[in-house]
Structure 1
């Protein structure tokens, strides 16, 4: 199938990806395809910084609000929907603007990462350990058997820790051994990453966290709790939601939940940067630039820009 070449806008949280994606969609007659795992969940709006409908400039968005909080977000499930959406858009002459920061989802989509099929007995073993021992202990086990995987997976991300341990046990090889060799991206996708000076980005993360807590995150979590948030394997562990649930359980107060959300987000950003900077295909752009959209457009239309910054 031929059609417009997709553009992927990736990079760390709070760097300015969403605004750039909208700018590119307007200029390239495109539509947005979400590649943020947690924005797939209906009702998880404030804590995921999901753009409200009225701020989307009338541009259709795909792969948002496709899961209930009780459902498990998986790479395979995402791929089935996203690939179909992108193919449909290209067939209609629309440019897919793929935007988000979920590292494994991005590599799976652009490099056709085929992870081994799950084995229920092995999966159940590690999920049981997660419930009994806690996420920190399971992350320590991953660090023991596969240090590289532990370094790339947040130590609060129980679902991905379980999956990595499962893959290591099934294959007898490190988790990364199943990853594809970075080559020509699917559909010839152009990839740009938005980043900012670390101090500036930390300030943006701090402000975003404060706005989330002041803007109704606690009420959002309480509402989702009534819809089964605690029963989900993935949604309840999202940064922000996990901390508020812990506050509900009396582990600490809401002020501490906000601080832990800020710290968790900042740590996640460091991992995103490390992951994306391994990809030589990415052109890095300064999110603070007044000419961000123009710089991105030059990359998309063939200017080599500043690859591998």
Structure 2
């Protein structure tokens, strides 16, 4: 039994740079928990600075799961994460401790908490649309998706080539719109208490800018150099991560370092707006201001009230 008697998982979600990691650690200490990462890019070994991964010595001795589980040459998939993280959550619960799911990767959150059943995949169909993406870029797959499923084309970010490829694959295999394969938001698995962390937009933009500058000061360029030697350019998902893709362009002579830094900041800010829009649609989330010094105490009161 946990320190407070709480046994249901707790999820701490929301936009990047709002303070989710600190709140997750505070809650883990209070209820006797273990952290289950739900940030897609933090799954990669060696992608530390650019993902703001907590160093081991800042984890307060709390066990973390789903960090450093992939090489940069491997493809991060929602399906793989769902299977592995589900096993982690159930193992933690069985041990009498509390899973604290922390992160902001939107579809990963939905896959874990809504038990998303994924449509089948077909390597040949996937390869066909991957080839369209490689040959014609995101504009080509966006146009193909617009013809096949206008609703999906209107809702998927037109720069998200990988998700458009997946949508085209699902539409071709099922004969149904991509939306038909999406999960329905209902009662969260395991009765998970879902907490959201956000901040004032101006405050958050300032934090993102400072975080971006710090990443470059701490050696993001050197980190990418080291990852190139480990096959970063051969990966599908890792080299597309915000910060890493911009530094790769710099190292390839396509831009200067200041431009790479600026594009990293802009890309992160844009991603934050998408996260905010996505999570705010989920009526189950109880929201907190990450700038509030009492956020941990207030969140714990909500957690305790959900148990009673």
Which category describes the TM-score, using the shorter chain as reference length? over 0.9
1:43 equivalent in alignment to 2:42: no
CA distance in 2, matches of 1:193, 1:143: 33
1:302 equivalent in alignment to 2:299: no
- Give the deviation of 1:236 after TM superposition: 0.8
Trace 1:87-126 onto structure 2 (pairs within 5 A): 87-126=90-129
The answer to whether the Cα contact below 8 Å between 2:78 and 2:111 also exists between their aligned partners in 1 is: yes
Residue in structure 1 matched with residue 81 of structure 2 by the alignment: 78
CA deviations over 1:126-148 (Å, ceiling 9, x no partner): 11112112235434544565455
- Give the deviation of 1:177 after TM superposition: 2.0
169-178 or 100-109, which deviates more: 169-178
Residue in structure 2 matched with residue 248 of structure 1 by the alignment: 251
**Compared CA separation, residues 297 and 78, structure 1 to 2 (3 A):** same
1:200 equivalent in alignment to 2:203: yes
Unaligned runs of 5+ in 2: 1-5
- Give the deviation of 1:170 after TM superposition: 2.2
**Compared CA separation, residues 206 and 148, structure 1 to 2 (3 A):** farther
TM (norm. structure 1) is 0.93
- Give the deviation of 1:291 after TM superposition: 0.7
112-121 or 31-40, which deviates more: 112-121
CA distance in 1, matches of 2:279, 2:143: 24
286, 300, 304: which is aligned to 2:289? 286
171, 175, 188: which is aligned to 1:168? 171
Residue in structure 1 matched with residue 3 of structure 2 by the alignment: none
The answer to whether the Cα contact below 8 Å between 1:156 and 1:237 also exists between their aligned partners in 2 is: no
- Give the deviation of 1:175 after TM superposition: 2.3
**Compared CA separation, residues 225 and 140, structure 1 to 2 (3 A):** farther
CA distance in 1, matches of 2:81, 2:159: 21
222-231 or 161-170, which deviates more: 161-170
Matched positions, count: 302
**Compared CA separation, residues 68 and 27, structure 1 to 2 (3 A):** same
211, 221, 224: which is aligned to 1:221? 224
The answer to whether the Cα contact below 8 Å between 2:193 and 2:306 also exists between their aligned partners in 1 is: no
**Compared CA separation, residues 203 and 285, structure 1 to 2 (3 A):** same
1:11 equivalent in alignment to 2:14: yes
CA distance in 2, matches of 1:64, 1:195: 23
The answer to whether the Cα contact below 8 Å between 1:152 and 1:271 also exists between their aligned partners in 2 is: no
CA distance in 2, matches of 1:215, 1:151: 39
1:21 equivalent in alignment to 2:24: yes
- Give the deviation of 1:233 after TM superposition: 0.7
Residue in structure 2 matched with residue 210 of structure 1 by the alignment: 213
CA distance in 2, matches of 1:263, 1:81: 32
Residue in structure 1 matched with residue 136 of structure 2 by the alignment: 133
Unaligned runs of 5+ in 1: 305-309
CA deviations over 1:218-266 (Å, ceiling 9, x no partner): 1101110110001111101111111111112222111111111111111
SS in 2 for 1:48: coil
SS in 2 for 1:285: strand
The answer to whether the Cα contact below 8 Å between 1:9 and 1:191 also exists between their aligned partners in 2 is: yes
SS in 2 for 1:191: strand
